[in-house]
Copies of this chain bind each other. A is one copy, B any other.
């Protein structure tokens, strides 16, 4: 693991790191904020998964999470959203697929199966790296994310409720198997048999019996992707049927941007901290 930069911020240290990933067979960059409390005792870890087109940098620069993470003593890890590099199969004309659009799954279809393994990366390889290199208490982990990253957080929490003590999301894609902007990607990554897609769909996982103790979701009511891509009411229905407590805040006037996310970031971090 190579340190690209570190800077003191809000009493802790914001670092950017790079490493050769086995899971994605390329170099990957991620950021880690270590709060001041971690100098005394290992701190809980909160994973933030970013949305389409993002790298680790968007939330690291615009997310406004450090003040709250420092106040609550939480390590925040922000991975990239896909494999990266010139030799990675991609469709540069489609921002909803390929680089910047890994959808937090393990692809099974060629030529994507070799590199597009973000599920293994986030769930196996990166946690081991974080545990080995940072003062992290890996028995206390939470996960959250935005849009495609909200999808990642919800599905990973549903499949690993023993690992994650808390899960929240900003404007998540709650049903990628039916959403127009994710179906083409699932087809390319996972093949035409839609049954395989259900392992990466929060509402399908709930239908298929997966459970999580509770979710917190914030959604901008003026989000231009609300009706087509996001549809939080589908998660609301699925959670209601499965008796999973869901707190869904529809935020009047807010859009899909980091101006929205940063507004409610400190609330989400406090919510996670209370559960970690």
Interface residues of A (CB under 8 A from B): 7-11, 14, 61-62, 64, 66-67, 220, 222, 253-255, 257-260, 262-263, 266
Contacts and interface: CB of A to CB of B under 8 A. Distances in A.
B64 A7 contact: no
A255 B5 CA distance: 12
Given A61-B61, A259-B14, A254 B8 contact: yes
B260 A7 contact: yes
Contact of A7 (B11, B14, B61, B257): B257
Contacts of A66: 259, 262-263
Nearest to A222: B8
Contacts of A255: 7-8
B62 A8 contact: no
Contacts of A220: 8
B260 A9 contact: yes
A253 B8 contact: yes
A220 B8 CA distance: 10
B61 A64 contact: no
Contacts of A262: 9-10, 64, 66
Contacts of A253: 8
A31 to B, nearest CB: 11
Nearest to A14: B259
Nearest to A265: B67
Most B CB contacts (10 A, CB to CB) among A67, A254, A263 go to A263
B259 A8 contact: yes
Contacts of A9: 254, 259-260, 262-263
A168 B173 CA distance: 43
A72 to B, nearest CB: 16
A66 to B, nearest CB: 7
Contacts of A263: 8-11, 66-67
14 contacts: A7-B254, A7-B259, A8-B222, A8-B254, A8-B255, A8-B260, A8-B263, A9-B254, A10-B262, A61-B62, A62-B62, A64-B64, A66-B262, A67-B266
